[in-house]
Structure 1
Amino acid sequence: MGKDSKAKDAGGKGKGKAPAGEDSGGGKGKGKGGGKSSDLGTCTYVKARHILCEKQGKINEAYKRLEEGWLGNGDKVPPAEFAKIAAEYSECPSGKKGGDLGWFPRGKMAGPFQDVAFATPVGTTSAPFKSTHGYHIILAEGRKN
Structure 2
Amino acid sequence: MGKDAKAAGGKGKGKQAAGGGGGGGDESASKGKGKGGKSADGLGTCTYVKARHILCEKQGKINEAYKKLQDGWLDNGDKVPPAEFAKLAAEYSECPSGKKGGDLGWFPRGKMAGPFQDVAFSTQIGATSAPFKSTHGYHIILCEGRKN
Task: Mark yes or no: TM-score above 0.5.
Answer: yes
* Structure-2-length-normalised TM-score: 0.82
Structure 2 unaligned regions, length at least 5: 33-41
How far apart are the structure 2 equivalents of 1:29 and 1:135?
Answer: 20
- Deviation readout 1:11-62 (Å, 9 max, x if unpaired): 994424139xxxxxxxx97551446532100100000000000000000000
RMSD, aligned CA: 2.3
Structure possessing the higher radius of gyration over alpha carbons: 2
**Does 2:47 correspond to 1:49?**
no
* Alignment: residue pair count: 134
Q: Hey, which of these two has a bigger chunk of helix by percent?
A: 2
How far apart are the structure 1 equivalents of 2:10 and 2:92?
Answer: 16
How far apart are the structure 1 equivalents of 2:2 and 2:19?
Answer: 31
How far apart are the structure 1 equivalents of 2:19 and 2:66?
Answer: 18
* 2:3 match: 6
**Does 2:138 correspond to 1:124?**
no
* Structure-1-length-normalised TM-score: 0.83
Structure 1 unaligned regions, length at least 5: 20-27
* 1:65 match: 68
Give structure 1 regions of 4+ aligned residues with deviation exceeding 3 angstroms.
Answer: 8-14, 28-31, 33-36
